[in-house]
Amino acid sequence: MPASGLAGSTGAGGYGLRPGTIFSKPPVPISVIFHYDCLTHSEPALRMRIDAVGVERVVLGTDWPFDMGIDWPVSWVLSLTSLTQREKEAIFWKDLEQLLGI
């Protein structure tokens, strides 16, 4: 999926194209509504996700209880060379604290 697909909008097709549309506000980008799982099984895919929606929208995820090939997601994220230490900390705990308001 192209990065534009990850950071698209929630709809309101045609907003602002002609007078009299029923929408009073522009569509909200999906990237400010959702949080995303980091477990992409591919470093380039995770890098694309972070670049598309921002690291502040990406949290640690697992496929537990299903065996999807990555037994230790923390170790997998730690091994990724394209992520900075700040990005890893955001994925591991800072984003979740922000999401939960703790």
Query: What average pLDDT score do residues 14-20 get?
Result: 64
Q: 37: part of which helix (H) or strand (E)?
A: strand 36-37
Question: What are 57-68's pLDDT values in tens digits?
Answer: 999 988 778 877
Residue 69 has a pLDDT of 78
Question: What are 25-39's pLDDT values in tens digits?
Answer: 666 676 678 899 999
Distance between CA atoms of residues 47 and 40, nearest Å: 10
Question: What are 49-91's pLDDT values in tens digits?
Answer: 999 889 999 999 887 788 777 888 999 999 999 999 999 999 9
What count of other Cβ atoms lies within 10 Å of the Cβ of residue 36?
22
